[in-house]
């Protein structure tokens, strides 16, 4: 026996509800996995920073920066004190 129009509507609504619930569960699972990954990365970063002196921690973000003004040598030498040229 074929389905009536109302039965088809009800079936579509039920299918959409099931699809929506499954989609929400998949999204929630992805967010939880992302949250866990970010927490682990932050723990690692904070552990590394805790092992450094305050000076090293403040210089660390700049060690890998490439500054067009200074060229590649700036990125390598940022943590080293610079000697002034000249007789001053």
What would the pLDDT profile of 13-34 be if each residue is shown by its tens digit? 777 778 788 888 999 999 999 9
- Sign for the CA dihedral angle at 7, 8, 11, 13 comes to negative
pTM: 0.43
d(CA 66, CA 76): 9
Are residues 67 and 75 in contact, defined by beta-carbon separation less than 8 angstroms?
A: yes
Mean pLDDT across the chain:
73
Question: Alpha carbon of 57 to those of 1, 73, 74: distances in Å?
Answer: 74, 20, 18
């Amino acid at each position: 026996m074929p389905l009536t129009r109302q039965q088809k509507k009800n079936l579509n609504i039920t299918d959409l509800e099931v699809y929506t619930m499954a989609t929400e569960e998949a999204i929630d699972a992805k967010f939880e996995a992302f949250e866990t990954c970010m927490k682990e990365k932050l723990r690692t970063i904070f552990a590394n920073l805790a092992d450094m002196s305050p000076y090293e921690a403040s210089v660390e973000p700049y060690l890998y920066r490439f500054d067009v003004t200074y060229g590649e040598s700036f990125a390598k030498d940022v943590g080293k004190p610079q000697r002034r040229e000249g007789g001053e």
